[in-house]
Amino acid sequence: MKTSYGRNFSTIASILLLSLVVLGASFQILVKEYLTNVTVTDLQKNAKVVANLAAAYSVDGSLSSREFLLNLDIASQISDADAVICDDSGRVVLCSDALLGCEHQGLQLNREYMQKVIQSGGETTTGIVRGLYRDQRYVVSMPISGKSGTHGIVIVSLPTADTNAILNMISNIFLTAAVFVVLISVIAVSIFTKRETRPLQEMAKAANAFGHGDLEARVKMEESYSEEIEELAVAFNNMASSLQKSEYQRQEFVANVSHELKTPMTTISGYVDGILDGTIPADRHRHYLQIVSDETKRLSRLVRSMLDISQLQSQEGIPEEKKMHFDLSECAGSVLITFEKKINDKHLDVNVEMPEHPVFTIANRDYITQVIYNLLDNAVKFCPEGKQLGLKIQEGSSKVYVSVSNEGDTIPPEELPLVFDRFHKLDKSRSQNRDGWGLGLYIVKTIICSHGENIRVTSRDGKTEFTFTLPLG
């Protein structure tokens, strides 16, 4: 399996090489076409000049005159092209290679080629002129036309080797530049790819460490990271923090459940064993069996509370079909009445503030009843004898605010953020209230959050108040 570095490097290198090949081939073709066109155009001009010159001198049959030979030699040297003059029969009469006589003179050209040049008024080809030259050439042929007719043809040619030499030189320059560019690009791509893949390697190491139990593993943030890599690193760190918190909560949950179950189970086991082995006398059986019954009911309440929490957390909010339109004031008043005996036993002063008209909301009535019950039960439990208990409902523009308060000891500021955690109890409440599991407020918050609403707590100057919101119906 290739690494990200290898994939990126090979991809960029392939694109670079392909680009250079396409660019080089295109440039080579364009330059060759340009040089060929320039060369052929020049040859056509030269051929036309020589043909006109030969036509002028052939009127009186003076192609072999010294003046014509001199002009032909000058034209050939200026153009750097070879010129061959053939008579109307196709026989080579003059050659610029040796005006006074060369191996080409006397050679006979193909009659078909002669006719083709004369009929078309000129011919341009590239290749070998058999019988004259052995190398590849650009060849331009034109007829020598006079008033009395065609006197022959002029063949002007130039070796293609000159053009090929220029192309080879350009190719060498391009190849040298391409090698230099490739080397620079390889170094730059290598550095860039390593820099871009290093954060991914760091994330892989952090993920591997996290997977092996190092919950403190995080990806270090650096200024050199790109925006996308930085977002990925932040997302990874947030995920790791969330998983770390969940793991700590799970460990705490297991520890708390184990701790809370240990005491009642030990009590039940000890008293039952005492009754069975006779350690507890018969006249005390009823007393201790009542304790066993109370502890069993406490365990049952714990299991029921945990099932309620599990059901709420398994839902993504309260389904709309389970919500109803009901009077919140009537619901809260009904719950308050159930605490009448406990309130009277502690001689509490109850302060109720509710609108005189019904206050409607849309929610799950059973769950909201449980919320109010848990808050009132908590308030009554921690309200000292003779102190004040409060229940208040206020209407806002789109929300209903329900508050349950009690006078008593102020909750320390450092404890306030923890009151809604599972199994959290204030130290003083552990010894004073054995009926509590520390799940009541956690259930309250879970229900309220499932409705998409909020709950808060304040505790100052000897008064603690819980306030939650519901939609105004």
**CA–CA separation, 367 vs 363, rounded Å?**
8
**Residue 120: both structure tokens together:** 């078309």
Nearest to 154 by CA among 164, 165, 139: 139
**Dihedral of the alpha carbons of 363, 366, 369, 375, in degrees to the nearest 10:** -100
Transcribe 315-350 into DSSP letters: SSS--GGG-EEEEHHHHHHHHHHTTHHHHHHTT-EE
- CA 159, distance to chain mean position in Å, is 59
Helix (H, G, I), strand (E, B) or coil at 208: helix
At 414 the pLDDT is: 86
End-to-end CA distance of the chain: 60
At 59 the pLDDT is: 60
Helix (H, G, I), strand (E, B) or coil at 105: coil
For 72-108, the pLDDT digits (tens) are 777 777 777 888 888 878 888 888 766 666 767 778 8
Distances (CA, A) of 316 to 446, 447, 452, 465: 11, 11, 10, 28
At 431 the pLDDT is: 36
**Backbone dihedral region of 54: left (phi > 0), alpha (psi from -120 to 50 degrees) or beta?**
alpha
- Facing residues of 124 across strands? 140
At 77 the pLDDT is: 76
At 429 the pLDDT is: 42
**CA–CA separation, 24 vs 22, rounded Å?**
6
- In the block, tokens 């018969």 appear at 282
**CA–CA separation, 317 vs 98, rounded Å?**
106
Contacts of 368 (CB under 8 A, 6+ apart): 328, 331, 361, 447, 470
Distances (CA, A) of 110 to 4, 101, 159, 209: 68, 21, 21, 88
Proportion of the chain in helix, strand, coil states, percent, rounded to 5: 55, 20, 25
At 324 the pLDDT is: 93
Residue 154 half-sphere exposure, CB side, CA atoms within 13 Å?
28
For 341-385, the pLDDT digits (tens) are 899 999 999 999 999 999 999 998 988 998 998 899 889 999 999
Helix (H, G, I), strand (E, B) or coil at 461: coil
**DSSP strand pairing (324-327 vs 349-353):** unpaired
Helix residue ranges per DSSP H, 58-159: 66-79, 111-120
Q: Do 402 and 379 contact (CB within 8 A), yes or no?
A: no
Low-confidence ranges of the chain (pLDDT < 50): 427-437
Transcribe 275-296 into DSSP letters: HHHTSS-GGGHHHHHHHHHHHH
Q: Do 149 and 169 contact (CB within 8 A), yes or no?
A: no
- CA 58, distance to chain mean position in Å, is 83
At 428 the pLDDT is: 43
Sheet with 92-95, strands from edge to edge, namely 92-95, 82-87, 149-159, 137-146, 123-127
Domains, in order of start, for the chain: 4-164 (3.30.450.20), 227-314 (1.10.287.130), 320-471 (3.30.565.10)
Contacts of 244 (CB under 8 A, 6+ apart): 215, 216
**CA–CA separation, 422 vs 245, rounded Å?**
14
Helix (H, G, I), strand (E, B) or coil at 225: coil
